[in-house]
Amino acid sequence: MKTATSFNFLKKILGISLNKAKEENLIESIQSNLILILNTRQGMTEAIPDFGLPDIHQVYNALPKSLDGLGEEIRRTISKYEPRLQNVTVRFLNKASDTFRASYHIVGEVREGSSISKITFQTDVIRDGSANAYLVNQYQ
């Protein structure tokens, strides 16, 4: 508790809004969970067999039609396992021609009290199955 209080005090003396800091922490928490979801393969967690994405090698072998299916799997999994991000849509952006790297925008709404923010993350899914997620845009 002392660390959180010190952190809030520091933000206050620096003139950073505590509400803004809380919102940033929420977005960072969602981003961390998205990275976890995107880097977990279905079947890896015995208690929750549908948590994560399908085997990326199967997606790679069924190109190009599998890219839309991967986008739908990303949307379905996020909608189910990241409830703080609502009204999720996933849009395919592009595929790198030299290697398998498929990029998607993940768009959703985050509610805090009566405030609703629309946020966009980008994810790049790579042939080895790893994925990242980073914030692209946020607006109210």
Express each pLDDT in 125-138 by its tens digit.
Answer: 887 888 889 899 88
Q: Which of 122, 91, 120 is nearest to 107 (CA)?
A: 120
Q: How far apart are CA 4 and CA 28, in angstroms?
A: 16
Residues in CB range of 67: below 8 A, 6 or more apart: 59, 92, 95, 102
pLDDT surpasses 60 at 87: yes
pLDDT surpasses 90 at 80: yes
pLDDT surpasses 50 at 5: no
For 59, the token pair is 């997606």
Q: What is the pLDDT of residues 23-36, one digit of tens each?
A: 568 899 999 999 99
Q: How far apart are CA 78 and CA 60, in angstroms?
A: 21
Q: Residue 59: what pLDDT?
A: 72
* Residue 118 identity: K
What domains, with CATH codes, occur in the chain? Answer: 22-139 (3.10.450.40)
On average, the pLDDT of the chain sits at: 81
Q: Residue 56: what pLDDT?
A: 78
78 or 4: which leads in pLDDT? 78
Predicted structure pTM score: 0.76
